[in-house]
Structure 1
Amino acid sequence: MLLELAGSRRILFFGGKGGVGKTTVSAATAVAMAETGKRVLLVSTDPAHNLGHLFGREIGPSPVKLAEGLDGLELDPDRTVDQHLEEVTAALRRMMPAHLGSEIDKHISLSRDAPGMQEAAMLERIAEVVELKREYDLIVFDTAPSGHTARLMALPEMMSAWTEGLIRQREKADSFSAVLQSLSRDSSVGEKAFGDEPARQDEDRNSRIRRLLNRRKQRFAGLRETIADRRQTAFVIVLAAERLPVLETIELNAQLLRAGVDVAALVVNKRLPEGLQGFLAERKAQEEIHLATLHEQLAHIPRKDLTLAAHDVLGVNALRAFAAEF
């Protein structure tokens, strides 16, 4: 089921509660699809950096080769915020008068720890990565735990609306500025007060601001459109057959639906095998109770159960063997 889903999409998001095996399932899917001849990019947005541990090598913010046809990268939230704020600072310094430099630095410093800054910065990077789909046949995202992922999926529409509001405010300010400049040209006092050169500088600055805002609007709108397009994007929730992961999965599905994102599949990872006795047989029976709750709420979503592996799944060969169960 998973490989069929991956074969028919350009982008796959894997989400779910922490510790259920999202990284292993997403990485195994990426390895298996790369072996079919597809060019695949595996991306981790989880600050735990489990992707590097899984492949036994350092993986950073730029794509590195993990296997034939498979590249990987890790988006570090703190580093992403730093890079995002550096870019914003540079853009503001280009657009704003030089004497406001200290105010810009103060604003950026206060923004670093503002609520939602990490998600907004990460969203920018995800949008950049999604634009790489021209270079890859498939992009697989291993996302952070559920709450973070749900907020991230809702952000494109919110950021697009926010940027649209800024553009409208900018247009109002430009219209007001044009009236003042018109008045200044009709008044000898105005000519001395405003002058032609400052007016041209204001026009250039306003033009740069509009271009920047429109680029951001187009980027967020494009990401929102891509995420909501079922023909090219799918979201998979990975969970364990335990009470809390099941309840969190039901809530995550509801949050994603509110954000306009449909869940294409459920993967129940680490299922106990059949034929057990004693304590393990009791645990197996408990799994069935929790999965009955899952079925009652989300029976309409295709589900794949994966048996608990006897050994840790580490490295390309182990991931390839794990994917055989998909």
Structure 2
Amino acid sequence: MQGPGLDELVRTKKFLFFGGKGGVGKTTMAAATAVWLSDHGYNTLVVATDPTVSLSSIFAQEVGETEITPIGTERNLCGLSINPRKALGMFQSRMNTMMDGFSTMFGSELLSTPCTEEIAAFDQFVSFMGDTEHDKVVFDTAPTGHTLRELSMPFDWSGYISNQIESRRELSEVLGFVYDEGMIDDLKQEKARYDAAVKALSDTDTSSFNLVLLPEKLPIDETERAVTDLGGFGIRVRALIVNEIIPQDAIRGNAFLERRRATQERYLNDIGTRFRDIPRAEVPLFDSDIYGLDALRKVGGVLYGR
């Protein structure tokens, strides 16, 4: 690790986010971090917002999609995998209650925009940004592009809803519909929830957004774009985790591994140049799959110390 210790970073922040390109090991790093924190006495919740991954697989046990699930025999570790389709049902139910009577008049258009399912998942994610039950909340986020869309869409969606309501004021009056100003107030409160969530993401006192990458060209390029794009939301990347580095002592004269490691070295130097101001940690390529608490503890030991 270069710069401040990564263990200090996770000890001092309430919300820990792990993002990056698909397939670089975000879930592994998030799960390993959650286990490490739990082992060190923190009441920890790990939340997966990526619909393509499974906390159940990496923890080798069932992890709920609607209810928070205890993990292992640890008394202070639990998890939840947000399922966008199930989140959509809860989101629609809440919105229908909030806008009762309005959708009867205007149909279901307001809850059937192309990105509603993603907004619903983000809406559930937002609820955990107000968590008061856990010492630490670890987020395994969707691939970077998806995460950035989720950060921007709630505001586009909120604006869309407000515009729809405003544009139909006159129509509602013509049709004799009694317009409820409380609906706009409710929508303003929804917007405020999203504003607060993104503000919490950018609050370096409480949150840390970390990116995982491989020592390869495409992940490095995407990481560079992500650092810039996240900066546009006021979110500063606090640490990089470079995953799957071939250990030197595993090469043992193997020409193929020597070439691969030499290539990785070039990319590690590139990472050091491009992201010189961001602390980083390096995680070796392990000789077996990483799943289950014991394996995750090995990764946590590398990241944060034993």
TM-score, length basis structure 2:
0.86
Q: How far apart in 2 are the matches of 1:229 and 1:15?
A: 17
The answer (yes or no) to whether the contact 1:153–1:261 under 8 Å persists in 2 is no
1:110-144 Cα deviation digits (max 9, x unpaired): x53x3332332122111111122x11111100011
- 2:70 aligns with one of 65, 69, 72: 65
Decide whether aligned partners of structure 1 residues 52 and 97 sit closer, same or farther in structure 2, where only a CA change above 3 A counts. closer
- 1:104 aligns with one of 107, 127, 136: 107
Identical-residue share of aligned pairs (%):
30
- 1:256 aligns with one of 207, 212, 230: 230
Confirm whether residue 80 of structure 1 aligns to residue 87 of structure 2. Answer: yes
Q: How far apart in 1 are the matches of 2:56 and 2:216?
A: 27
Q: How does 1:165-204 map to 2 (within 5 A)?
A: 169=166, 202=178
Confirm whether residue 311 of structure 1 aligns to residue 288 of structure 2. Answer: yes
C-alpha displacement of 1:164: 9.9
Confirm whether residue 28 of structure 1 aligns to residue 32 of structure 2. Answer: yes
3-state secondary structure, aligned to 1:62? coil
The answer (yes or no) to whether the contact 1:15–1:238 under 8 Å persists in 2 is yes
Bigger helix share: 1
Which structure would you say has the larger Rg?
1
C-alpha displacement of 1:173: 5.1
Aligned position for 1:189: none
What code does the residue aligned with 1:272 have? I
Confirm whether residue 44 of structure 1 aligns to residue 42 of structure 2. Answer: no
The answer (yes or no) to whether the contact 1:52–1:58 under 8 Å persists in 2 is yes
- 2:141 aligns with one of 119, 140, 143: 143
Decide whether aligned partners of structure 1 residues 154 and 261 sit closer, same or farther in structure 2, where only a CA change above 3 A counts. farther
What code does the residue aligned with 1:222 have? A
Aligned position for 2:96: 89
C-alpha displacement of 1:18: 1.2
C-alpha displacement of 1:309: 1.1
What code does the residue aligned with 1:268 have? V
Confirm whether residue 119 of structure 1 aligns to residue 113 of structure 2. Answer: no
User: RMSD value over aligned CA atoms?
Assistant: 2.8
1:193-215 Cα deviation digits (max 9, x unpaired): 99xxx8xx93xx52431331132
Q: How far apart in 1 are the matches of 2:50 and 2:247?
A: 29
The answer (yes or no) to whether the contact 2:27–2:53 under 8 Å persists in 1 is no
Q: How far apart in 2 are the matches of 1:68 and 1:3?
A: 22
1:157-183 Cα deviation digits (max 9, x unpaired): 5566x289659949x959xx9xx9xxx
What code does the residue aligned with 1:96 have? F
Aligned position for 2:207: 233
The answer (yes or no) to whether the contact 1:272–1:308 under 8 Å persists in 2 is yes
- 2:272 aligns with one of 265, 286, 295: 295
Q: How far apart in 2 are the matches of 1:325 and 1:255?
A: 29
What code does the residue aligned with 2:119 have? A
What code does the residue aligned with 2:98 have? A
Q: How far apart in 1 are the matches of 2:257 and 2:32?
A: 27
What code does the residue aligned with 2:262 have? A
The answer (yes or no) to whether the contact 1:80–1:125 under 8 Å persists in 2 is yes
Q: How far apart in 1 are the matches of 2:103 and 2:196?
A: 32
Aligned position for 1:11: 15
- 2:187 aligns with one of 179, 188, 213: 213
Q: How far apart in 2 are the matches of 1:18 and 1:90?
A: 36
Q: How far apart in 1 are the matches of 2:81 and 2:103?
A: 37
1:8-50 Cα deviation digits (max 9, x unpaired): 1010110011111111111010111111111111000111232
Aligned position for 1:188: none
Aligned position for 2:261: 284
Aligned position for 1:183: none
Q: How far apart in 2 are the matches of 1:291 and 1:158?
A: 38
C-alpha displacement of 1:305: 0.4
